[in-house]
Amino acid sequence: MCGIIGYVGDQSALDVALQGLRRLEYRGYDSSGIAVVGAGALRTARRAGKLANLEKLLAESPETDPMPGTTGMGHTRWATHGGPTDVNAHPHTDCTGALAVIHNGIIENFALLRAELEAGGHELTSETDTEVVAHLLEAELARVPGPVGVAGPASSADASHPLTGALRRVCRRLEGAFTLVVVHRDYPEVVVGARRNSPLVVGLGEGESFLASDVSAFIAHTREAMEIGQDQVVEARRDGVAVTDFEGQPVDNRRYHVDWDASAAEKGGYPYFMLKEINEQPTALADTLRGRLSADGAIVLDEERLSAQDFRDVDKVFIVACGTAYHAGLIAKYAVEHWTRLPCEVEMASEFRYRDPVLDRSTLVIAISQSGETLDTLMAVKHAREQKARVLAICNTNGSTIPRESDAVLYTRCGPEVGVASTKTFLGQVAACLLVGLFLAQVRGVLYGDEVAAYVERLQRMPELVRRTLGRLEPIRELARELADAKAVLFLGRHVGYPVALEGALKLKELAYMHAEGFPAGELKHGPIALIEPGLPVLVVVPSPRGRANLHGKIVSNIQEVRARGARTIVIAEDGDLAVEPYADHLIRVPETTSLFAPLVTTLPLQVFACELALARGLDVDQPRNLAKSVTVE
């Protein structure tokens, strides 16, 4: 939820931190702050509100370099404990002002720790949980002082750098989820970090090292990265990093090369990341499918760590995810059940985790997450593995936690998504789910080879259909501008159009702050139809007339039902569907597709509708209020 960057090297730490925070601001924008160690001092600056407020504060400084030094860190906050004020902004310092801490996550036992610290004479000034860490470190450093390797308690590994040893000991006392980064006035040679259930990656540069919530923060400096695992502490110096667990045992983590560069995390001429990301969808889809559809018409998922036999042993599928990723999972259910004849349940990760789902080693749990850091989904993954289920992650972020905690991972290759509202990664997730569904059917022999080949051939055409759809959405942009003052919008769909309707409603809620609901069109008459009043916009995702069980005819009736009660109907229908024309106040055409692939095109007008309507309301579509891109608290 918060964004973190730490740096040690030869550059101005202030510049590196500010640049990193600009890239990380999508993770939270309630406040921001920086700490720099240099010239024998620790300096901090922090401000409530967006990063621009902090930049203004620094620009107004009378000094040419308000924060000199080449060791430092920056933080952008999504508030949990304590409101979004200056005083609650990170970094937080100890009583002496010698050390500073930034944090992402929630320290669940902070109240007890705070009481203990206050009883011991520490003065805490903020309402945050984070501040206890600064004071616990102060106490630890006072208890175990001394230069490197001289003093240390029982554990031999604690005879390392004093700050690193102190952080390890403090982490052992913390409960909850945290990424922590610490700098100290007296130790400009190191930046020290730790993590449990929140993200932290290392950037390995030439003569410089970075600690960050994600690689975008340091991608302009280095593309060489290292994962930090659960319950680990990292000591970063100019010439490299040393990683241990919380007990001090050295660990050897995976290093990797980031396969995208700084330009991918820029706006590329668009006024908003969201607009850029909507338009990147043909490429995101093509990249996600690349190498996974063979020339002879089979699905190839050879990066799997699960064997074909593992997939043959599956007798039940659970899909767990949150928000937009959950909607991708709902679409997957239709495909998995239809193609594999396996029972498939889809559940919001936050609910799955706290009931007693019946799982065993024959259960395949598919965890979908763009960030790979969503704590609700991560906890569901851990719960599933404890029950011996096999977990396959569908994820967009290399080096993130959920893939590491899963048995296998299928990466969507959508590139970095900066806009808080998911767009291109939704398409990537749907595509990955379709690949998994077809792969399951293929290895289990439920579909004939020629049936799989027919789907493969149609999937190959989808990026082009997405590109063509994006090219014809001007009518929905105009309509969105016209509806900028609407009070509410309903979204209806059937079959895979239902999750698309849910996704359209979510996009409108989060971007335009408008009341929006998605319903199965058949459910309408069981209650929601009471919401219909003259002029209410009702957007309907219409299944193909060539689809199953006359769903098309039924939804045409549903459109008539709402229209008869005065609704203004906005109908998303495929080319050549003439039956809807008499009942559509506004008709948005999409190309013909296979029923199960239709969400890859029908979602696009809904994304554009929400984005354009929010822009017409003068809202920031990249950073909607109260939200953060990566939700690392439960």
Instruction: Return residues touching ligand AGP (CB under 6 A).
Output: 322-325, 369-371, 374, 377, 420-422, 510, 630-631
Three-class secondary structure of residue 310 per DSSP: helix
- 395 given a catalytic annotation: no
- 629 given a catalytic annotation: yes
Burial of 615-632, coded b for 16+ CB within 10 Å and e otherwise, reads: bbbebebbbbeebbbbbb
Alpha-helical regions (H) of 89-241:
110-119, 131-143, 162-171
CB-side neighbour CA atoms (13 Å) of 154? 2
Minimum Å gap between C-beta 75 and ligand AGP is 20
Minimum Å gap between C-beta 79 and ligand AGP is 17
Going by the DSSP 8-state scheme, the letter that residue 66 receives in this structure is: S
Residue listed under structure tokens 């659960």: 230
Minimum Å gap between C-beta 471 and ligand AGP is 23
Bond before 91 cis per omega within 30 degrees: yes
The closest of 367, 270, 324 to 607, measured between CA atoms, is 324
CB 2 within 8 A of CB 20: no
The closest of 625, 325, 616 to 476, measured between CA atoms, is 616
Q: How far is CA 22 from CA 1, 11, 14, 425, in A?
A: 15, 17, 12, 21
CB 477 within 8 A of CB 606: no
Minimum Å gap between C-beta 634 and ligand AGP is 12
The closest of 472, 507, 474, 477 to 489, measured between CA atoms, is 507
- Rounded to whole angstroms, the Cα distance separating 61 from 45 reads 11
Nearer to ligand AGP (CB atom), residue 134 or residue 379: 379
Minimum Å gap between C-beta 230 and ligand AGP is 18
Burial of 393-424, coded b for 16+ CB within 10 Å and e otherwise, reads: bbbbbbbbbbbbbbbbbbbbbbbbbbbbbbbb
CB 120 within 8 A of CB 32: no
CB neighbourhood size of 543 (10 A)? 27
Nearer to ligand AGP (CB atom), residue 185 or residue 327: 327
For the chain, the 3-state helix, strand and coil shares in percent, each to the nearest 5, are: 40, 25, 40
Residue listed under structure tokens 């439920």: 446
Instruction: Write the burial class of residue 446 (CB in 10 Å: 0-12 exposed, 13-18 middle, 19+ buried).
Output: middle
State whether the Cα torsion 344-349-353-355 is positive or negative: negative
- Rounded to whole angstroms, the Cα distance separating 278 from 424 reads 6
- Rounded to whole angstroms, the Cα distance separating 30 from 1 reads 11
- Identify the helix (H) or strand (E) that includes residue 285: helix 281-289
Minimum Å gap between C-beta 187 and ligand AGP is 35
Nearer to ligand AGP (CB atom), residue 41 or residue 348: 348
Amino acid identity, residue 14?
Answer: L
**Edge-to-edge order in the sheet of strand 515-520:** 515-520, 488-493, 537-541, 568-574, 586-590
- Rounded to whole angstroms, the Cα distance separating 446 from 438 reads 10
Any idea how long the chain is?
634
Residues marked active site are found at 2, 629
